[in-house]
Amino acid sequence: MGKIQIMDEWLSNKIAAGEVVERPASVVKELVENAIDAGSTSIDVFLLEAGLTSIQIIDNGSGMDEEDALISFSRHATSKIHQEHDLFRIRTLGFRGEALASIASVSKMTLITSNGESGTYLELEGGHVATHKPGPLRKGTDITVSQLFFNTPARLKYMKTIQTELGHTIDLMNRLALGNPQIAFRLLHNGQQLLQTNGRGDVQQVLAAIYGVHNAKKMVSFNGESHDYKISGFVSLPEVTRASKNYVSLFVNGRWVKHYLVQKAIVDAYHTYLPIERFPIVALFIEGDPYLTDVNVHPAKHQIRLSKEPELLKLIEETIREQIRHVIRVPQMEKKEKVAKPATEQLNIWKPAPKLNVEKMNAIVEKLYDVQTVQEQKQLEPIVAEPVPTVIEGSWQPTPMMEANPPEEMTLEGLEEPREVLQDEPIKEPFPALEVVGQIHGTYIVAQMEDGFYLIDQHAAQERIKYEFFREKVGQVNPNERQALLLPLTFHYAADEALLLRENRQELEAVGVFLEEFGQSSFVVREHPSWFPKGEEQEIIEDLIEQVLTTKKADVKKMREAAAIMMSCKKSIKANYYLTKEQMETLLQDLRNADNPFTCPHGRPVLIHFTTYEVEKMFKRVM
């Protein structure tokens, strides 16, 4: 008898479940996406013990008849593609036909479904049908998954804590709700509501439900279009930041995906507007012909490949940057307001477990997600890893997963007409004409106007002025204008890296860096473009070479940008340097003429506004 045999279907389903069903959130994702594909307008998700005990999903979609219900648990059974051509025009969230068979193989499942004409009730255990009988005629599907991984104890053993698994599911539901604002979603855990959207089709209403009305009001819409793609969405003002990129949500033709280069283009659009290692809240929607996208990269369907990627990245970066330029304004003094505790502090995970420690959960989940993001980015692109974020200013900042179900002071009623609320607010405050009053500690300039006074960081102010000067200066230099070195610079690399450099040498030559071979795996550079800052030549050339090794392309624009920032910082006045009144007035006038007078090149605020009312309120002169 031969050694090779056809694998039993039940066994192959369990193997497939290893890729499709990683944790309870994976089950929720597959089942909710099926409900969305079925045309549902209302989807409810009920969890017990983060889904490890029970996951129930109820929708009002098209449902199934008896024949479809029975065959739906067979591997590769799908209603979404019928021929090879369909694979290149996928418009549904699911299409592989693996999810139901994989989930059923590692759980006990109950399915109640009806197309409005006939109802079906099924019970399955480990993928085998145990009970089959007629069901109620309510149109839609009610599916319950219990005792997940009951027959794969190794997988169950390595599940994370209840808090962590719940965090994954909340994050997933937040993104599904953002991508489908026309559907009313509810998420409940142990009877506690964590998310609710109204299904009116307004993305900003969903943002308010997830992040709170206060943050939703500080997000502005944008849209752009090219020959192949349309983009739209919401971005937060530079004053609203987070410690992680996980608050950047990307949707391609309605599907939430992860794409490192698109995420990077979004962050680049905020260049010089955000502090270092701080990131915005963004919901970006990309629409394009399905022929331009490939979602069949991994069974989880999180990864995607895009055609005409450079043009798309340029469109995203330029559109968002232009919108940010229009809405940037002077930071106000942060008002201390009493805010109700987040609903997550009231979660009762399971008994007799103690009350959920939200700060600990925040740290665990943020660290977990940043580590996973780094690993996924390394698989997609061999580029730098993310630093693990920390909680700043000694206050708890909710993660993307935990900013669900805003407390009573942040309910949806506070944002009935969000677009009009934003239109009532000033789009951009021009830089005011200020009267210099004096200087504090040789560091901060005090200036006044009718409605209050301003504190200006003199170093940040001059840094912005110098940055714009140097940015223009180095941008006008011809890369062919080169300067000879008295002593050549030598660079040593591994054999495979040296081979890659030889193949892509023209990329470096295009930006004015000419490599001469110096031995088997070494190179020398005898001249460089004249715009390279003195003393920084070797570091800049190493950065350019590193870009070629990782992306096979040298971006001289980014190198010049970095050089302009570095030169502006070194040549700006420092703290504890006292200025005359004339010098302060000149500095403020130059700042007023700057393209962006509100933030320094590193994204820190240049000036802060204190209104007369706020000052009088602090001194109890007004109530």
Per residue in 549-601, pLDDT (tens digit) is 877 766 666 766 776 776 677 777 777 888 888 888 888 888 888 888 888 88
**138: which 2 tokens?**
């309510």
pLDDT at 224: 94
pLDDT at 111: 94
What's the rounded mean pLDDT across residues 246-257?
Answer: 90
Task: Answer whether residue 40 shows pLDDT above 90.
Answer: yes
Q: How far is CA 29 from the centre of its chain?
A: 18
pLDDT at 550: 77
Residue 392 pLDDT grade (very low, low, confident, very high; cuts 50, 70, 90)? very low
Match 């399905």 to its residue by tokens. Answer: 290
Q: Which of 346, 347, 411 is nearest to 211 (CA)?
A: 411
Residue 2 pLDDT grade (very low, low, confident, very high; cuts 50, 70, 90)? low
d(CA 489, CA 486): 9
pLDDT at 452: 87
Interval 422-432: pLDDT, tens = 434 444 455 77
More confident residue, 562 or 399: 562
How many beta carbons lie within 10 A of that of residue 369, not counting itself?
Answer: 22
**46: which 2 tokens?**
């009920």
Cis ω for the linkage preceding 432 (within 30 of 0):
no
pLDDT at 574: 79
d(CA 198, CA 243): 29
Interval 274-283: pLDDT, tens = 887 889 999 9
List of domains in the chain = 9-159 (3.30.565.10), 205-429 (3.30.230.10), 432-623 (3.30.1370.100)
Task: Answer whether residue 207 shows pLDDT above 80.
Answer: yes
Task: Answer whether residue 478 shows pLDDT above 80.
Answer: no
CB 325 within 8 A of CB 167: no
What's the rounded mean pLDDT across residues 356-367?
Answer: 50
pLDDT at 119: 92
What's the rounded mean pLDDT across residues 484-498?
Answer: 87
pLDDT at 221: 93
pLDDT at 470: 73
What's the rounded mean pLDDT across residues 322-350?
Answer: 55
Task: Answer whether residue 388 shows pLDDT above 50.
Answer: no
Task: Answer whether residue 105 shows pLDDT above 90.
Answer: no
d(CA 573, CA 458): 7
More confident residue, 83 or 48: 48
Residue 300 pLDDT grade (very low, low, confident, very high; cuts 50, 70, 90)? low
Segment (H or E) for 318: helix 309-327
What's the rounded mean pLDDT across residues 339-362?
Answer: 44
Burial class (CB in 10 A: 0-12, 13-18, 19+), 440: exposed
d(CA 612, CA 505): 61
Q: Which of 75, 80, 21, 6 is nearest to 51 (CA)?
A: 21
Task: Answer whether residue 66 shows pLDDT above 50.
Answer: yes
Interval 371-384: pLDDT, tens = 444 444 444 333 33
Q: Is 166 left (phi over 0), alpha (psi -120 to 50) or beta?
A: alpha
Task: Answer whether residue 250 shows pLDDT above 70.
Answer: yes
Q: Which residues of 48-71 are buried (b: 16+ CB within 10 A; e: fewer)?
A: bbbbbebbbbbbbbbbbebeebbe
d(CA 456, CA 464): 12
d(CA 100, CA 269): 40
pLDDT at 605: 86
How many beta carbons lie within 10 A of that of residue 266, not counting itself?
Answer: 23
d(CA 534, CA 516): 22
What's the rounded mean pLDDT across residues 536-557?
Answer: 77
Q: How far is CA 22 from the centre of its chain?
A: 22
Ranked by mean pLDDT, the top range of 26-30, 79-83, 411-415 is 26-30
* Number of residues that this document lists for the chain: 623
d(CA 496, CA 120): 61
Q: Distance of CA 621 to CAs 452, 594, 612, 615, 618, Å? A: 15, 37, 11, 9, 8
More confident residue, 369 or 493: 493
CB 285 within 8 A of CB 262: no
pLDDT at 47: 95
Q: Which of 542, 93, 553, 543 is nearest to 309 (CA)?
A: 553
d(CA 510, CA 444): 44
Q: What percent of the chain has pLDDT over 70?
A: 73
Q: What is the DSSP string of 194-210?
A: EEE---SS-HHHHHHHH
More confident residue, 546 or 79: 546
Question: What is the average pLDDT score of the chain?
Answer: 77
Task: Answer whether residue 618 shows pLDDT above 60.
Answer: yes
d(CA 199, CA 183): 4
pLDDT at 144: 94
- Phi, psi (rounded to 5 degrees) for 303: -90, 150
Segment (H or E) for 103: helix 99-105
More confident residue, 169 or 367: 169
More confident residue, 514 or 77: 514
Q: Distance of CA 497 to CAs 223, 375, 508, 523, 549, Å? A: 41, 23, 14, 12, 7
CB 99 within 8 A of CB 34: yes
CB 257 within 8 A of CB 295: yes
How many beta carbons lie within 10 A of that of residue 414, not counting itself?
Answer: 16
Residue 407 pLDDT grade (very low, low, confident, very high; cuts 50, 70, 90)? very low
Task: Answer whether residue 51 shows pLDDT above 60.
Answer: yes
What's the rounded mean pLDDT across residues 129-135?
Answer: 90
Q: Which of 115-119, 155-159, 289-293, 463-467 has the lowest mean pLDDT?
A: 155-159
Q: Which of 74-78, 257-261, 365-369 has the lowest mean pLDDT?
A: 365-369
CB 68 within 8 A of CB 79: yes
pLDDT at 502: 86
pLDDT at 139: 93
pLDDT at 229: 93
User: How many helices (H) and strands (E) in the chain?
Assistant: 19, 22
pLDDT at 315: 94
Match 């680049």 to its residue by tokens. Answer: 268
What's the rounded mean pLDDT across residues 37-41?
Answer: 92
Ranked by mean pLDDT, the top range of 100-109, 224-233, 388-397 is 224-233
Q: Which residues of 278-291 are buried (b: 16+ CB within 10 A; e: fewer)?
A: bbbbbbbbbebeee
